[in-house]
Structures are given as structure tokens and as C-alpha cells.
């Protein structure tokens, strides 16, 4: 079974990667970390980057499912 995953990047991460999103296909189970590795081959995940699956915060070892949206973004600061 093939899974389709949408990957989105926000803020400075989007700027440093030079794109806002990717569409990926996986042939089997995958985790949030594996989504990053597939989308950004050779680029380590920057320190302190947060992840979300379907707009809920997620850990890097969380599983993703067909149709999920995985987002990566820097920590939000503000006042």
C-alpha cells in the first residue's frame, strides 16, 4: 500500500530550505523523522525544530498514516 504524505515547512525553516512543501509517497510505515529524512536527504534535522501531524504536536518517532500532513517549524517565540 502506498501512502501519500504532505510535508510543510514554516518560518525560517521554509526560507533555509527554499520551499514551503513537499508531497511524498511511502511504500510502508513511516515516522515523522523518516518523513524529514526522505524529504531532505543528506540534511540533518536542525536542533530545536518542532513537528506536527495534522496540526497536533508530534514526536519524531510518531507514526504517520496515508493522507497525513506533517509540518516542521522552529519554536515560536513572541510577546
CATH number at residue 57: 3.10.20.30
**Can you tell me which residue has the cell 530545536?**
48
Taking only the tens place, the pLDDT of each residue in 15-38 is 999 999 999 999 999 999 999 999
Report the alpha-carbon distance of residue 53 to residue 63 in Å, rounded.
Answer: 9
pTM greater than 0.75: yes
Taking only the tens place, the pLDDT of each residue in 48-68 is 999 999 999 999 999 999 999
Q: Is residue 79 part of a domain?
A: no
Q: Is residue 66 part of a domain?
A: yes
Which runs of consecutive H residues, i.e. helices, occur in the chain?
11-17, 32-39
- Looking at every residue in the chain, the average pLDDT score rounds to 94
Report the alpha-carbon distance of residue 9 to residue 11 in Å, rounded.
Answer: 7
Q: How many domains does the chain have?
A: 1
Q: Is residue 78 part of a domain?
A: no
Q: Is residue 31 part of a domain?
A: yes
Total Cβ atoms within 10 A of residue 39: 19
Amino acid at each position: 500500500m502506498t501512502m501519500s504524505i504532505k510535508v510543510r515547512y514554516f518560518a525560517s525553516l521554509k526560507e533555509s530550505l527554499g520551499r514551503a512543501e513537499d508531497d511524498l509517497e511511502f511504500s510502508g510505515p513511516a515516522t515523522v523523522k523518516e518523513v524529514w529524512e526522505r524529504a531532505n536527504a543528506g540534511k540533518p534535522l536542525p536542533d530545536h525544530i518542532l513537528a506536527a501531524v495534522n496540526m497536533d504536536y508530534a514526536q519524531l518517532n510518531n507514526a504517520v498514516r496515508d493522507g497525513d500532513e506533517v509540518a516542521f517549524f522552529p519554536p515560536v517565540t513572541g510577546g
